[in-house]
A and B are shown apart, each in its own frame.
Chain A
Amino acid sequence: MDKSGDFRVSEDVPIINIHPLNGWVPIDLKEIWDYRELLQTFVVRDIKVRYKQTALGAAWAVIQPLLMMVVFTLFFGKLAKIPSEGIPYPIFSYAALLPWTLFSEGLTRSTSSMITNSGIMTKVYFPRLIMPISGVISPLVDFAIAFVILLGMMLYFGFFPTVNIIWLPAFILLALATSLGVGLWLSALNVQYRDFQYTVPFLIQLWLFASPVVYPSNLLPEPYRMIYGLNPMAGVIEGFRWVLLGTTPPSSLMAVSVGVVIAVLISGAFYFRRMEKTFADVV
């Protein structure tokens, strides 16, 4: 019997093949695209749930980076007198704290995403990659709120965005890609070994000081500065300062950062896919 000639087997009835998965599994980007509505649902859920039963609500999105800025300005700017490329220290650090918060929130949420959603994961099929991706995307709302404050500060300190601002989305994307890349590795590891849950806050703390949030990257002389780009957040933060505050463009450092992010993202995605098949059994 010729199956393809039967009624109903056509474009509207997909055929799903189930078979053992061994070793490395390809990344099915089309499938993720097909499930974009679900991705959107998860993101919306996370945003809605985030500030439920909080008194200050979405103000938290602003309070955190703002308080950090105040503390950093006081101790690093005023007392330690860390140079800030001639830019007022508050806006110098706030412009860095924005992408930093976006990155660290995304990393935290994507790492724990497989555990917090384990109830769903063991009951329904969907491309698992959606979970860490949604964990990275949902902090964008906080970012947008905090960004409004930045615009206000720019006005106050007299910074006007140049044409370079068109690069801003690229740097936001780079920050998201960084947190997703690392998040993919950590979330896959976290399913099997909850140890990684505990390493994330620690990792983020270390990483904060390894990134040019409280100091400019030009503290390092040139050959080392390129190596510094191995930390992709260095590229992201210097990129933000460049497009918003008009500091020197971080070209060589940026190239290294982009390369690292691509490598981490692709390897993370493949590692995640490799481990994914065991998630429902282990979690």
Chain B
Amino acid sequence: MTREISIRVENLGKQYRITQSEQYKTLQDAITRSVKAPFCRIKDILGPNSENHDQILFWALRGVSFEVVQGEVVGIIGRNGSGKSTLLKILSRITPPTEGTAEIHGRVGSLLEVGTGFHPELTGRENIYLSGSILGMRKCEINDQFDEIVKFSEIEKYLDTPVKRYSSGMYVRLAFAVAAHLDPEILMVDEVLAVGDVAFQKKCLGKISDVASGGRTVLFVSHNMGAIQQLCEKAILLERGALLEFSSATDAIHRYHHLMREKTFFDSIYFNGTLKHVLEFKELTINDKNPSEEIIIVSPSSQIELKVIGLCMEDIPRFRVAFSLFKDGTRVLTQHDVVEPKFLEKGLFESKIKIPPFLLRPGEYSVSLGGNQYIGHEWIWGADLAEFLVVEEWSSNYGFDDPGIINIPHDGERLMIK
């Protein structure tokens, strides 16, 4: 069977201009320039193409060519700022390219954020129609799918409440439910799965793979290699705006990890503090895996061990290493290698902490690392050095659907009082 072209991209490029702010040297200078400014600007107002010397030009994307056939699910991966979002924005016609062309066969549904077009003052019901039609659904399509959208979102009871009264979880669920029922020939998804709890993320991933197996073409931007691996046959790897690799998802992810390895987390620039030049953290592992080489996925039923290897350049009389976990910007816990700060000898050392199973709820955790004297002014700290993901286990009986921040093992019972 010949498969038909769905997306053809040829030599696509996007140039951005960044206006450099001028430094005013004197007050007089500042005044004369601001008086002159309106006259200089008139030229700009007449057309966006006029050149301006205060601007820096840079290519967010350049020379990108590829073809996607109908029904393919293609992941787009790359480091931050590699041009993934720019590519998606061009293909969904939000911004035009500076050079090159693209040909798209079919209606495009773009999901670049959750809750596009939601209005806080309007009710859930009204927002389903509003967001749906902004995303490109016809009114009759929304009518047809309305019940399913409501069911998927699990917010039946609050359908006629303004969404500003919703919890953030409800908001995300409703927003994704609308988006998930888009039915275009081509779906472009950008990192929307980064929000919401893991259970709901799974549901969303499932929905996307349904869409894909239904013969739709999907472009899927994500940092979550697990999701890319799971959903996509092929992947595009972008680096500094150029297409580095377009191959099977496995190969592209492999190459991506290779790229990520070049980035060293433990450069001293990541650390602050008075002990910055005395102490060097060399390597952090999570369950003996290096987070700079792969995405660490931990199941809740396993213990999590954080281990760091450090080099101490001179003896420190009192010291303890501190590990902190953050989730959604909240510090979940802090733990030390030793309870009481104690003497740290010059040389290599290893510190570790263990987090018991079933303590962390599913989600993305970021690790910060440092140390202090407990009493005193000597310290070192490096924030957000590594990340790991706690996934949900479907087989476990743990109540991950029970709302809350922490998990506790079940210990409850019910008795009848006679």
Where the two chains meet, the residues of A that have a C-beta atom closer than 8 Å to any C-beta of B are 1, 3, 6-9, 13-23, 37-38, 41, 45, 48-49, 52-53, 119-126, 189, 192-193, 274-275, 277-278, 280-281
CA distance A49 to B2 in the complex (A): 50
Cβ contact within 8 Å between B94 and A124: yes
Cβ contact within 8 Å between B119 and A14: no
Shortest CB–CB separation between residue A278 and chain B, in angstroms?
Answer: 5
Shortest CB–CB separation between residue B141 and chain A, in angstroms?
Answer: 10
Cβ contact within 8 Å between B98 and A124: no
- B13's nearest neighbour on chain A, judged by CB, is A20
Shortest CB–CB separation between residue A28 and chain B, in angstroms?
Answer: 12
Pairs A–B under 8 Å by Cβ, sample size 9: A6-B2, A7-B4, A13-B107, A17-B104, A18-B93, A20-B100, A49-B119, A121-B94, A280-B95
- Return the CB mask of B83-123 against A: 1 if under 8 Å, else 0: 00000011111111111111111111010110011010110
Using Cβ atoms and an 8 Å threshold, which residues of chain A touch B134? 38, 41, 120, 124, 126
Cβ contact within 8 Å between A14 and B95: no
Using Cβ atoms and an 8 Å threshold, which residues of chain A touch B364? none
Cβ contact within 8 Å between A193 and B122: no
Using Cβ atoms and an 8 Å threshold, which residues of chain B touch A14? 105-107
Using Cβ atoms and an 8 Å threshold, which residues of chain B touch A41? 129-130, 133-134
Cβ contact within 8 Å between B41 and A125: no
Using Cβ atoms and an 8 Å threshold, which residues of chain A touch B129? 41
Of A38, A124, A189, A277, which is in contact with the most chain B CB atoms at under 10 Å from its CB? A124
Cβ contact within 8 Å between A125 and B94: yes
Shortest CB–CB separation between residue A186 and chain B, in angstroms?
Answer: 12
Shortest CB–CB separation between residue A18 and chain B, in angstroms?
Answer: 4
Shortest CB–CB separation between residue B26 and chain A, in angstroms?
Answer: 25
Using Cβ atoms and an 8 Å threshold, which residues of chain B touch A121? 94
Shortest CB–CB separation between residue B31 and chain A, in angstroms?
Answer: 18
Using Cβ atoms and an 8 Å threshold, which residues of chain B touch A119? 116-117
Closest CB pairs A-B (n = 5): A125-B93, A18-B102, A16-B104, A41-B133, A280-B95
Using Cβ atoms and an 8 Å threshold, which residues of chain B touch A280? 89, 94-95
Cβ contact within 8 Å between B94 and A15: no
Of B95, B102, B135, which is in contact with the most chain A CB atoms at under 10 Å from its CB? B95
Cβ contact within 8 Å between B95 and A281: yes
CA distance A48 to B123 in the complex (A): 11
The answer to the question of B376 belonging to the interface, with a C-beta cut-off of 8 Å to chain A, is no
Say whether, besides A20-B96, A38-B133, A192 and B116 are in contact (CB < 8 Å): no
Using Cβ atoms and an 8 Å threshold, which residues of chain B touch A9? 4, 105
Say whether, besides A16-B103, A16-B108, A275-B48, A45 and B93 are in contact (CB < 8 Å): no
Say whether, besides A41-B133, A123-B110, A15 and B95 are in contact (CB < 8 Å): no
Shortest CB–CB separation between residue A7 and chain B, in angstroms?
Answer: 8
CA distance A49 to B117 in the complex (A): 13
Per the 8 Å Cβ criterion, residues 226-253 of B in contact with A are none
Cβ contact within 8 Å between B135 and A124: yes
Using Cβ atoms and an 8 Å threshold, which residues of chain B touch A122? 89, 94, 112
Cβ contact within 8 Å between B116 and A20: no
CA distance A18 to B48 in the complex (A): 19
Cβ contact within 8 Å between B103 and A124: no
Cβ contact within 8 Å between A15 and B133: no
- B123's nearest neighbour on chain A, judged by CB, is A48
- B139's nearest neighbour on chain A, judged by CB, is A37
CA distance A282 to B153 in the complex (A): 34
- Return the CB mask of B1-25 against A: 1 if under 8 Å, else 0: 0101100000000001000000000
Cβ contact within 8 Å between B99 and A20: yes
Of A119, A125, A126, which is in contact with the most chain B CB atoms at under 10 Å from its CB? A125
Shortest CB–CB separation between residue B89 and chain A, in angstroms?
Answer: 7
- A15's nearest neighbour on chain B, judged by CB, is B105
Using Cβ atoms and an 8 Å threshold, which residues of chain B touch A123? 94, 110, 112-113, 116
Cβ contact within 8 Å between A189 and B133: no
Per the 8 Å Cβ criterion, residues 257-290 of B in contact with A are none
Using Cβ atoms and an 8 Å threshold, which residues of chain A touch B122? 45, 48-49
- Return the CB mask of B121-141 against A: 1 if under 8 Å, else 0: 110001001100111101100
Of B4, B101, B112, which is in contact with the most chain A CB atoms at under 10 Å from its CB? B4
Using Cβ atoms and an 8 Å threshold, which residues of chain B touch A19? 96-97, 100-102
- A125's nearest neighbour on chain B, judged by CB, is B93
